[in-house]
Structure 1
Amino acid sequence: MIPKRVGIKDVASAAGVSVTTVSHILNATPNTRASEETRRRVKDAARALGYGPNRLAQGLRTQRSGMIGLLSEEIATTPHAVRIILGAQEAARAHGLSLMIINSTHDANDESRRDDIAALLERQVDGILWATIMYHREVSLPSNLVGVPAVLIDARDRAGLAPGVEPDEESGARAAVTALIQAGHRRIGFVNYHGDIPATHGRLRGYRSVLAEHGIPFDESLVVAADYEALDGYAVTLPLLDRPDRPTALFCFNDRMAMGAYRAAAELHITIPEELSIVGFDNQELIAANLFPALTTVALPHYEMGVWAVDTLVRIMNGHEEDRLLSDHPTFMECPLVIRQSIAAPAL
């Protein structure tokens, strides 16, 4: 026997509400007047009955496909991409949408970028997310993305046409350095990245501002910079730790550079955290949680950024013009400190 298809009337009957109420709630119709209890009851009933909207009929009626696109750079090689995609995917599902993903590269030319956007538009996506992933930066929208509902992740639009979300690098650095000062450290080194990107400047600003707030003079000789891999962190940390007035704590630009600092400390027979405290940035768990001792670090809010981007895109798609005002400036998202075992009070 062919099983009976569950319809919207079945959901309405099970939830004890009208068909119109079910339709508005499940389709996230703007300005729907329904209590949270009613929304929960309708969604629970739909889930229990296995109800899914007829996308073909819905698309013909609303001129929407029920899909949004995600143009993501370096999916295969960037660990941060996974969390952004997961956040975006779960948020899309919560809105009853499907997510279509296209991989790109951070150095793609304008023509390649337009081709990627065209591929998504040909599949009639209702809106597009563009995640730059590698590091947040200022970008210009491809010409065929102008006028399309769009949200940027880890980037900002030069022309202010699309809203974007970025990690708050400065507040993340402030959290890291504050934790070291609260542990009793006053001689704190900073192992920074040498590239001219927002994270470099934001994290340095955070480092300097916290020192100033606690009356600790800024010592330029305690700030070193290099490329962002473990060997680079090792190369610049070794001489910093091999001086008679060495720092008692280090704040590192990322977890890979912190891993290099661990190696330098080991070579100089400096124990962590008893003789040297270290804080990283990024919370790359394969590194941070598996160093010994486990590394205290600052987490980048990639999952939360993916969720924010989808929620904002859906509001724009539904005609909430006030969300376009977010295009004038990036939305910054907090970077929380993840406490592990690499911080202790300085040795006497």
Structure 2
Amino acid sequence: MHLLITGGAGFIGSHFVRYIVNHHPDDHCVVLDRLTYAGSMNNLKAITGKANWTFIKGDIADASLVSSILSGEKGRQPIDAVVHFAAESHVDRSIKEPHPFIRTNIVGTHVLLESARRYGVKRFIQISTDEVYGSLGPAGSFAENSPLSPNNPYAASKASADLLALSYWRTYRLPVIITRSTNNYGSHQNPEKLIPLAVSRALADEPVTIYGDGQHTRDWVHVEDHCRAIDLALRKGENGEIYNIGANNEWTNLELVKLILKLLNKDESLITFVADRPGHDRRYAIDSTKIQTQLGWKPTKNFLLGLKETINWYRKHQNDWRID
């Protein structure tokens, strides 16, 4: 296949690019990324010299550029499938400045869908999030048919993009599949997110901040397990379907930070509670039965081992990624 992977220099996108390049050498990846603060070519250094991928710096909301890529202009092969990671993704940033989230996550997704329809793309994978479902009570989990109830501008923009994608399947029969994942962890994640931020602060013996009472709960899946799930959806998924991707691995933010501090041999006195953010969802949990039974996926990474590996990666690369 000739794949367009948007946002392929970001955290999850770069893991997926490396996965495809290494596991499917007959495929060719065109990586499109605007290289904002959340994307870096350093995330793709490990595959420098591999012949089965190319990089284009650009904006998914640039209709002319997207059209030229999907149609195969400038001597390129036409695109068979789009795997759409590109997104503004940090909730705090969406609360402070929603406009970039609307432009990239909604307008950019529409540009991609319209071009994919025009040029007969055979598969469009919309990478989404469990946050579109909103906040969950103390029991139960989200299924693919759970109602959408986003509570912040980021989640609302992703829910809007999902609905646009499904409309292109139902109206135009564009072969769309949506995947919705829980929180990811692993190497190369931007340090604004909880795990790398906690590691960064702890290594520097600085306060590790936690919103509210720290009892907000998330299910964590390793990014490599997530990439395997997306690859299965790409190759074996049913058009028009949604697949939830979770690991049944729930931790409160406070529990997770305490574990990170323990693994770093740091004292819990570094923990500092701050005022909760607006619209902070209390709990997410995903029922991934569908993708496990229909596509044969299951998470394989042990969380404690994966977290230790992740912490060691950040410790080794802290001069490259640390922020205040």
Q: Which interval holds the TM-score relative to the shorter structure?
A: 0.3 to 0.5
TM-score by length of 1: 0.35
- What TM-score, normalized by structure 2, do the two folds share? 0.37
Larger radius of gyration: 1
